[in-house]
Each structure stands twice: as structure tokens, then as C-alpha cells.
Amino acid sequence: MDYYGIGFSNIRLPNDSRNYTYKYNSRINQFPEEVFLHEFLHTLERNSEEYGYERPELHDYEKYGYKNEMLIGQKKWYTDYMNKNIKTDNGYVGLPEEIYNLKPAKASNFQNGTYKIEAFKQPENIIEEIREIIGHIFDKF
């Protein structure tokens, strides 16, 4: 996912143990770690592009003969993608080995810095709740 050229990935996990929305279901999900790996690989894919390395697009697995398989999902594709082991007529392609040593994920790598978004912050005590109610009253005027 890309946001105004900054680039980020967001994975939302509920903190409610009774919420089954994101629970593993073998009919729907493949290997549960797949979503985390997929988003991480998008970061490496983007870094590769920024450094000028040739690599296949992460979503182009079918072009190279890979399938989304039951239970293991795209595990074979991701493994070959990360190890530059995707066979083509011109040799092997995938993420360059060097990309694992370049541009670590830290705040100083982002041109625009990091910002804490308060838009969805929920009140944590009665005082914050009262302030929020009063704030909404004055927002209407």
C-alpha cells in the first residue's frame, strides 16, 4: 500500500479474543504468516526499485508459473522470490541479495518523518472522555 509516495503497510489485528474476524481458517487463509511476509516483501520490492535493481513484481507469480496453493498459499513463490531462484529463459530472477543489507526500516529513512495520528484515539479515562465530549460540542459552533 502506498500513501502519498511515502509508502507503508498496515496490518490490523483485533485485541478482542472473542473476535474471530482475523482467525486462521484453512478454507479462507493459507499459511497464517503469509500476510506479514507479503507486506514485508512489498517493502523489499520497493527498496529494490529505488536502488535500480531489476526484479519481478510481487503479484506476478502466475506469469512465472507459480500457483496459489491450498494450505501453503504462495510459499513456493515467496521462497524463490526472496532467494532469487525464479527460473526464466534469461537465468534466475528475484530480489537481489544486496537488498537485505540496504536501507533498514528506521524513521530516518523516511523523507517526511513520522507522525502520530490522533484521529482514532479513544479516551483512556473519564477526564479524556469529558474533554472529548466538550470538544465535540464546541466543534459544532
Give per-residue burial for 76-115: e unless 16+ CB within 10 Å, then b: ebbebbbebebeeeeeebbbbeebeeeeeeeeeeeeeeee
Lowest mean pLDDT among 18-32, 57-71, 93-107: 18-32
- The reported pLDDT for the residue numbered 87 is 95
Tens of pLDDT, residues 88-133 = 999 999 999 999 888 554 555 555 555 566 666 777 888 988 888 8
67/73 Cα distance (integer angstroms) = 8
Domain boundaries, given as residue ranges, for the chain: 34-114
Q: What backbone torsions phi and psi does residue 29 show, to the nearest 5 degrees?
A: -95, 155
